[in-house]
Structure 1
């Protein structure tokens, strides 16, 4: 689905869900070069306060790109900025729900402010807000 700027209204929302796998973490580490042992070395991570591996925070955040780029507003929008606050760790096997909700419309520049949140089992693990440009019809 794709929305034109004229179709959007405050309160409109969409979600994307993804269960994070071992393969996702390995591929993300390979693509980004972030081989922090917190993400890839169980023996190391077991000795930390998380008592095991956690997925990359930016991997969790990337699911926001999926909901924004593919659902709300969807194809054709341009991501301009994203503020993030990491709240809780995400582990391999967790299902992340990324949600975006229209918080403000700025018609003069065709921009939309979105409230963004990622959750696992209903608990927020990341929150923030995004600004996107959206084409008109």
Structure 2
């Protein structure tokens, strides 16, 4: 089923614009991500191993949270047509199974490259308690307007 999506174009993007997206992280999400990527680290996959870790339980892949940032950028701000150039990530706190995580992107810098606008967005992921899990900066080229 095709949906119409509306992007924030180079002419429309502004400093301070934000978007958030939330998702509950399930055991199935972690297992699907592991199969898709091949990252079968026992910290994510093995209960006995994880009990001996500093977290005392299995945790989600940090990149699963980073994927939610990518979803914000690719689907909402700026949205479809965005060219994702780069991302810095700092993993501050683990994502646990059943955490409700929220990714937020905020436009913090616009760079006029003459032929196109490049945008920098401060990116974060927090859990249901407001704990910072991931932070960084994304660099994108928003889609051109019609």
Mapping for residues 7-18 of structure 1, pairs under 5 Å: 7-18=12-23
Mapping for residues 16-31 of structure 1, pairs under 5 Å: 16-31=21-36
Q: Which runs of 5+ in 1 are unaligned?
A: none
Please name the residue that 2:121 is paired with: 114
Mapping for residues 1-137 of structure 1, pairs under 5 Å: 1-108=6-113, 109-121=116-128, 122-137=130-145
Runs of 4+ in 1 over 4 A off after TM superposition: none
Take 2:68 and 2:51, find their aligned partners in 1: how far apart are those partners? 26
**How far apart are residue 102 of structure 1 and its match?**
0.2
**How far apart are residue 120 of structure 1 and its match?**
0.4
CA RMSD of aligned residues (A): 0.9
Take 1:60 and 1:41, find their aligned partners in 2: how far apart are those partners? 20
Q: Which runs of 5+ in 2 are unaligned?
A: 1-5
Take 2:18 and 2:134, find their aligned partners in 1: how far apart are those partners? 17
TM-score between the two structures when normalised by the length of structure 1: 0.97
Aligned residue-pair number: 137
Contact 1:110 1:135 in 2 (8 A): no
| Between structures 1 and 2, the one with greater helix share | 1
Take 1:91 and 1:124, find their aligned partners in 2: how far apart are those partners? 13
**How far apart are residue 110 of structure 1 and its match?**
1.6
Contact 2:87 2:137 in 1 (8 A): yes
